Amino acid sequence: MTAPVEVSPFEMIAYTGSRVLEDNTVVFVGTGLPIIAAMHAQLTHAPNLNMIFEAGAFASILEQGMPMSVGDTRAFRKACFAKGLCAAFELTQRGYSDYAFIGGAQIDQFGNVCSTYEGGDYLKPRVRFPGSGGAGAMAANCEKTIAIMALEKRRFVKKVDFITSIGFGDGSPDYREKAGVLGSGPYRVITNQALFGFDKATRKMMLLEYLPGKSPEAIQELVDFELIIAPDVKEMALPTKEDLELLHNQCDTEGLFLKRKVVEK
């Protein structure tokens, strides 16, 4: 019998992110795991996937390796479009981005993401985070939002302390329309232990897949609100040995993100 492949949390997030992306679409990526996921998708099932980088590059060919950041010169290699930050966001406002790939510190049951502060209030927070970057505009203008973060109860909260990147707001059907934002809103939430979507009727977070060896009940224990469980909930697909080789040997060749260690608290 073949021994099971050992997969780290970051490898799991990158691989699952790749699976979620589709061919012939455009994704607005952030630094790190989103770029790695998109590169893996291009190398496997989505060769015609194109990336937008916040600094202004569109549809680059990343033949010089993974950009260290969205402003790395490698992100502009053979780009079809290379103008600047404002032009990149204008593309999303004109409807040219199918996916926004963002991160954050907190997320709630309606897919609102906080990356501004935690605890206290805006002027006197307990913890201050870096803020939106471009994520707020990405979530407001791209067609679908994909969020990535570690699965922890302190992150998956009933209500975020501050809406940095808009989701479905309070869950009302016309919230996004009244807020004046574009796109259909939150689509997937990718974690190291589960893949979530959103129920169309209630706009609440729904468990779609869970890590092999876990269970829906175990995932619920890590979330501070009641999850909807998909009728066809199933185990997450694990990357093969070949997938891991692609991730390490052609995507994150220097191990800047995939080789990071998870600190248990």
User: What phi-psi label fits residue 39: left (phi over 0), alpha (psi between -120 and 50 degrees) or beta?
Assistant: alpha
Q: At what angle do helices 33-43 and 9-20 cross, to 10 degrees?
A: 60
8 A C-beta contact, residue 49 and residue 38: yes
Catalytic residue from among 11, 22, 54, 143: 54
Q: Could you identify the residue written with the tokens 């169309």?
A: 200
8 A C-beta contact, residue 165 and residue 112: yes
| Phi, then psi, of 229 in degrees rounded to 5 | -100, 125
Q: Determine whether 11 is an active site residue.
A: no
d(CA 184, CA 181): 9
DSSP state of 165: B
Residues classed as catalytic:
54
